[in-house]
């Protein structure tokens, strides 16, 4: 018991365990309603100027969404989309996109 408490305190102190429990399923529902038109239902962007989100690191996604919401990062589409997201929405959306598995095929090097 003591060890468990220590482990969770350590995780919280290091910031490796987000304070909020993420719900990837809720993130999926929100993403298909509000994000898929630009970022694709499979997390592969439908717009050339939007980013592929499938398999992206969770901390990266959380930071990007928080930055858009706070106005630290500005984009005419994402600034509008992010302004009504709650902390829980951001955690859930990030968990959903991060849970997608992607594989990468590196092209042969050209001679």
Tokens found for residue 22: 């993420």
Q: What is the nearest approach in angstroms of ligand HEC to the Cβ of residue 17?
A: 21
- The answer to whether residues 71 and 82 touch, using CB atoms and an 8 Å cutoff, is no
Please select the residue that binds ligand HEC; options are 64, 91, 95, 98, rule is CB under 6 A. Answer: 64
Please say whether the dihedral angle defined by the alpha carbons of residues 93, 98, 100 and 106, taken in this order, is positive or negative. Answer: positive
Name the residue nearer to ligand HEC (CB basis): 17 or 63.
Answer: 63
- The answer to whether residues 32 and 25 touch, using CB atoms and an 8 Å cutoff, is no
> Which residue ranges make up the site for ligand HEC (CB under 6 A)?
31, 34-35, 37-39, 47, 49-51, 53, 61, 64-65, 75, 77-78, 81, 93
């Amino acid at each position: 018991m003591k060890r468990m408490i220590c482990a969770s305190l350590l995780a919280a102190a290091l910031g490796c365990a987000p304070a909020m429990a993420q719900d990837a399923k809720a993130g999926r529902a929100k993403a298909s309603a509000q994000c898929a038109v630009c970022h694709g239902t499979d997390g592969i962007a439908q717009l050339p100027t939007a980013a592929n989100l499938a398999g992206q690191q969770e901390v990266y996604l959380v930071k990007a969404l928080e930055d858009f919401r706070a106005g630290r990062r500005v984009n005419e589409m994402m600034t509008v989309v992010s302004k009504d997201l709650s902390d829980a929405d951001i955690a859930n959306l990030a968990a959903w996109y991060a849970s997608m598995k992607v594989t990468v095929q590196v092209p042969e090097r050209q001679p």
